[in-house]
Amino acid sequence: MKRIAILCLGAGLLAAPLAWGQEDVARIGERTLSAAQYAQRAQRMLRQGYGDLKVLDQAAKLVLLDGMVSQELLILEGLARGLDHEPEIAEEAQRAAQRVLIDSLYARQALQGEYVSTEEEERRLFTERRYHLELHSQQLVCPTQAQAQEALAALRAGESFASLVPRYSTPRIQRRFGPEGDIGWYKLPDLLPELREPLLALEEGGLCEEPVKSALGYHVFRLKGRREVPFAQARELMGKLVREQKAIQDKDRYVQQLRRQYELRADEQALARLQALPADQKEWPGPDEVLFTWTEGRITAAGYLERHRQGKARHPSSYDLEGLYKAVDNMAGQQIMMAEARRLGHDRDPLLRDQIESRRNELMAEALFRSEGVAEPVGEAQERAYYQENLEKFTQPDGKATPFAQLQKSIHTFLVQRQESQSMDRFIASLRQNYQVQVFPEVLEGIEIQR
């Protein structure tokens, strides 16, 4: 069951409600799985988690069917518990619907089929964005400027990055770049914008003069190396970026066309009054004011603050006026695109509805896994017992066993996951009884599955 549960959560394979068919491979409550639906989903499952089924014999087909039935049971139970109406799930499902519909609108209305790139375009991008340069540096990122200054002074005094990273660098950076803060070779455009020029200004081996602030914290760094990249080595990437750039330009043109079509207008004075609110003020004082308006839609100051209280928008005082304008303009643009997608009927497209519903089902399955896949506490006695029972697995070719202390953490993780899996097995077994599952193996025999 463990593999089925994880696939269900990670791959979004949960299906929409099924229709009655003439040749059903399974019936789950009032839902059915037809032979055609089975074959289609089996292909996806083989690509996304069941690749170890090398021979697609009857036994393998039954394994796939068992996974599909488990998925359907989780859908039914999630709906029965009303999980689709839970605020967190409903909001994420709504965001997923917005992504699917806007992507569909771009694909069908904005993009112009296949994009091509020429060598001239690729060379121009290669030079303009300075893809011909790669830099290698060591860095530590401190949460405060004072700590960054301390670390920089210590480096100047001869201390090593290896000794300072554990003391000063944020845990996130330590996990990403290791105990010596070595970020390796990076193409110049892939570096944080704040770091590009300061790093370019250094000689190889040089240490920064002052910490550099970014959204991650305060960077202290040494340039370890600089090298030129030949165009031929980067040409494949440049072609991809040129083609992406052309697609983005077409998307931008389409969005601007929609803004004109829906007559989008902004009230900059109202935006300025919203931006001037004190940081601790969460309600709009006085009569509401319209920030943006368009055909059959608008965003108001009170509406924006409501989004802020819901955690969906920053407080307006955290922006400068230009930043606030862009943020609210983006909200308006998304609403216009959703209105256009609905006008064109994208929200009624069966394939798109299946994508949207699959995400909702996946979220319900995740919630059920969290609530039902519960493990009892695992202590050292259980870990040692597992180690002793499986000592042969942990013995090296030279006859020496890997010490328990080195394996304890991984053993603990395995035992917890095994308990979670066993809990989900019991839960799925109970759902099979509640929803009266029937399977028809004889129908599977005639189904051909293409990998």
Where residue 17 falls among pLDDT bands split at 50, 70, 90?
A: very low
pLDDT of 14 over the 70 cut: no
Find the CATH number of the domain harbouring 191.
3.10.50.40
CA 24 – CA 115 distance, rounded (Å) = 43
Per-residue CA distances from 283 to 96, 147, 316, 319 (Å): 29, 38, 12, 17
Question: pTM of this prediction?
Answer: 0.74
pLDDT of 281 over the 80 cut: yes
Asked if residue 59 is part of any domain, the answer here is: no
Asked if residue 58 is part of any domain, the answer here is: no
Under DSSP, the state recorded for 19 is P
Asked if residue 153 is part of any domain, the answer here is: yes
Give per-residue pLDDT as tens, 234-262.
Answer: 999 999 999 999 999 999 999 999 999 99
Q: How many CB atoms lie within 10 A of CB 417?
A: 14
- Can you tell me the mean pLDDT for 379-385? 95
Asked if residue 180 is part of any domain, the answer here is: yes
Q: Give the structural domain span for 187.
A: 133-228
pLDDT of 450 over the 80 cut: no
Give per-residue pLDDT as tens, 195-206.
Answer: 999 999 999 999
- Can you tell me the mean pLDDT for 279-294? 96
Do 8 and 365 contact (CB within 8 A), yes or no?
A: yes
Residue 8: its pLDDT value, please?
Answer: 41
Give burial (CB, 10 Å; 0-12/13-18/19+) of 56: middle
Give per-residue pLDDT as tens, 41-65.
Answer: 888 888 877 878 888 889 999 999 9
pLDDT of 381 over the 50 cut: yes
- Can you tell me the mean pLDDT for 147-151? 96
CA 313 – CA 300 distance, rounded (Å) = 13
pLDDT of 6 over the 70 cut: no
Asked if residue 155 is part of any domain, the answer here is: yes
Q: How many domains does the chain have?
A: 1
Asked if residue 220 is part of any domain, the answer here is: yes
Where residue 3 falls among pLDDT bands split at 50, 70, 90?
A: very low
- Mean pLDDT check: name the lowest of 10-14, 18-22, 83-87, 243-247: 10-14
Q: Specify whether the backbone of 290 is left (phi greater than 0), alpha (psi in -120 to 50) or beta.
A: beta
CA 135 – CA 185 distance, rounded (Å) = 5
Residue 22: its pLDDT value, please?
Answer: 55
- Can you tell me the mean pLDDT for 270-297? 96
- Residue holding tokens 């070779």? 185
Q: Specify whether the backbone of 395 is left (phi greater than 0), alpha (psi in -120 to 50) or beta.
A: beta
pLDDT of 23 over the 50 cut: yes
CA 398 – CA 402 distance, rounded (Å) = 11
Mean pLDDT of the chain: 90
Asked if residue 146 is part of any domain, the answer here is: yes
Please, which residues have CB within 8 angstroms of residue 396's CB and are 6 or more apart in sequence?
402
- Can you tell me the mean pLDDT for 218-223? 96
Residue 47: its pLDDT value, please?
Answer: 82
In three-state form (DSSP H/G/I as H, E/B as E, the rest C), the secondary structure along 289-303 is CEEEEECCEEEEHHH
- Can you tell me the mean pLDDT for 72-82? 94
pLDDT of 4 over the 60 cut: no
Residue 7: its pLDDT value, please?
Answer: 42
The candidate with the shortest Cα–Cα distance to 45, out of 74, 78, 6, is: 6
Tokens of 55: 């021979």
Residue 19: its pLDDT value, please?
Answer: 43
Per-residue CA distances from 197 to 155, 175, 192, 201, 225 (Å): 21, 26, 10, 6, 15
Asked if residue 161 is part of any domain, the answer here is: yes
pLDDT of 443 over the 50 cut: yes
